[in-house]
């Protein structure tokens, strides 16, 4: 049996539109409604036939939903919760896809105290945004982390888990705080580093007159992809997951200073030992089939 029959998606960008496409592909009988605050996005959603109904207001989108998924930037999630509250059916389950969870879960629970809330984070995405950037296989062979708080009705959690499994994801559960510390180091800090290095190189460009672009090698190009990620989304992630990001940034800065000293004092052994350890990390990821190439292969070839 399908976990949900009437799904409302608020926010029809990369992730919202990917959820819509994946639902259409894997659960075609589900009735899909959608809403986006941006009228141009609503027009695009209509033109590309993303959902069965594009609603003019968030309330109209959720009025007979049994699952509502909030796919908006994290600092907009609680406000949307407040907006939909008067129109939400009592038995509807509320979820989201935000990249950080503790603050979002707290504010969403405050906005909707009488509803089952099952926060989720599909750890899958790209640097692109908007309704036309989404694709149905985005979540296949990817993790989706659920962070329900103690006391959430277990059947609601299990239905959301089954929903994501049907979209192809592997579901894990974590506490919101643990999620935010893990993602701070594995996702948020790497984005911050990419934004920094591309910003520094772009400042240097005035000095070197475009040699930065001309000779950009593979490593720098990879950073530019990440640094092209949506500014609104990432501003919200850093301001919301502030504590965990600052903690990881502190550790990172210390380790960077250690490397700086090793280079200054010619400590080749220290550099060699670190680079050997990090190479082993990469090799173990590849062996577990979790590198992007392997996951992309899985998404396009099975």
Ligand X SMILES: O=C(O)C(=O)Cc1ccc(O)cc1
Ligand Y SMILES: NC(=O)C1=CN([C@@H]2O[C@H](COP(=O)(O)OP(=O)(O)OC[C@H]3O[C@@H](n4cnc5c(N)ncnc54)[C@H](O)[C@@H]3O)[C@@H](O)[C@H]2O)C=CC1
Interacting residues toward ligand X by CB under 6 A: 99, 123-127, 187, 226
Quickly list DSSP for 58-94. HHHHHTT-SEEEE-S-HHHHHHHHHHHGGG--TT-EE
Closest CA to 193 of 232, 228, 223: 223
* 3 state SS of 35: strand
Q: Which is nearer to ligand X, 88 or 145 (CB)?
A: 145
Q: Which two tokens stand for residue 184?
A: 């701070």
Class of residue 252 by CB neighbours under 10 A (exposed 0-12, middle 13-18, buried 19+): middle
Q: Is 97 in the site for ligand Y (CB under 6 A)?
A: yes
Residue 233 touches ligand Y, criterion: CB under 6 A: yes
Q: Which C-beta is closer to ligand Y: that of 59 or that of 89? A: 59
CB of 238 to ligand Y, least distance (A): 11
The reply on whether position 169 binds ligand Y by CB under 6 A is no
Q: Does the protein bind ligand Y through residue 248 (CB under 6 A)?
A: no
Strands 67-70 and 6-10: parallel
Asked if 99 is part of the footprint of ligand Y (rule: CB under 6 A), the reply reads yes
289 CA to centre of own chain: 21
Helices 231-240, 189-208: axis angle to 10 degrees equals: 130
Window 119-158: contact mask with ligand Y (x via CB under 6 A): ---x--xx--xx----------------------------
Question: Could you tell me the smallest distance in angstroms from the CB atom of residue 126 to ligand X?
Answer: 5
Q: Which is nearer to ligand X, 80 or 227 (CB)?
A: 227
Residue 16's binding partner out of ligand X, ligand Y, none, with CB under 5 to 8 Å set by partner kind: ligand Y
Size of the site for ligand Y (CB under 6 A): 29
**Which one of 24-32, 59-67, 75-83, 271-279 is the stretch in contact with ligand Y (CB under 6 A)?**
75-83
Q: Does 226 bind ligand Y (CB under 6 A)?
A: no
> Which residue, chain included where needed, has tokens 């210390």?
254
N- to C-terminal Cα distance for the chain? 24
38 Cβ partners below 8 Å, 6+ apart? none
Q: Residue 67 phi/psi, 5° resolution?
A: -135, 130
Assess 111 for contact with ligand Y (CB under 6 A).
no
For residue 53, the Cα-to-chain-centroid distance in whole angstroms is 25
Task: Return residues touching ligand Y (CB under 6 A).
Answer: 10-16, 36-38, 41, 71-74, 76, 79-80, 97-99, 122, 125-126, 129-130, 230, 233, 237
């Amino acid at each position: 049996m399908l976990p949900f029959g009437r799904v409302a998606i608020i926010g029809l960008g990369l992730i919202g539109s990917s959820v819509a496409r994946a639902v259409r592909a894997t659960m075609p009988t589900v009735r899909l409604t959608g809403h986006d605050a941006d009228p141009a996005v609503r027009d695009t959603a209509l033109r590309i036939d993303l959902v069965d109904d594009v609603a003019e207001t968030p309330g109209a989108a959720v009025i007979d939903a049994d699952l509502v998924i909030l796919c908006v930037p994290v600092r907009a999630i609680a406000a949307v919760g407040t907006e939909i509250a008067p129109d939400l059916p009592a038995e509807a389950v509320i979820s989201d896809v935000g990249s950080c969870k503790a603050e979002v879960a707290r504010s969403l629970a405050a906005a909707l105290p009488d509803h089952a809330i099952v926060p989720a984070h599909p750890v899958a995405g790209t640097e692109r945004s908007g309704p036309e950037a989404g694709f149905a296989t985005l979540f296949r062979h990817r993790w989706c982390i659920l962070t329900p708080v103690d006391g959430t009705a277990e059947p609601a959690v299990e239905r959301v888990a089954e929903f994501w499994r049907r979209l192809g994801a592997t579901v894990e559960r974590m506490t919101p705080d643990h999620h935010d510390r893990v993602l701070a180091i594995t996702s948020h800090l790497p984005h911050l580093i990419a934004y920094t290095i591309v910003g520094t190189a772009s400042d240097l460009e005035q000095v070197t007159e475009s040699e930065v672009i001309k000779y950009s090698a593979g490593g720098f190009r990879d950073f530019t992809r990440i640094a092209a990620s949506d500014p609104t989304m990432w501003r919200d992630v850093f301001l919301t997951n502030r504590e965990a990001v600052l903690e990881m940034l502190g550790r990172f800065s210390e380790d960077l200073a250690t490397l700086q000293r090793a280079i200054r004092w010619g400590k080749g052994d220290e550099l060699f030992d670190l680079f050997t350890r990090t190479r082993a990390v990469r090799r173990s990821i590849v062996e577990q089939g979790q590198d992007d190439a392997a996951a992309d292969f899985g998404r396009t070839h099975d």
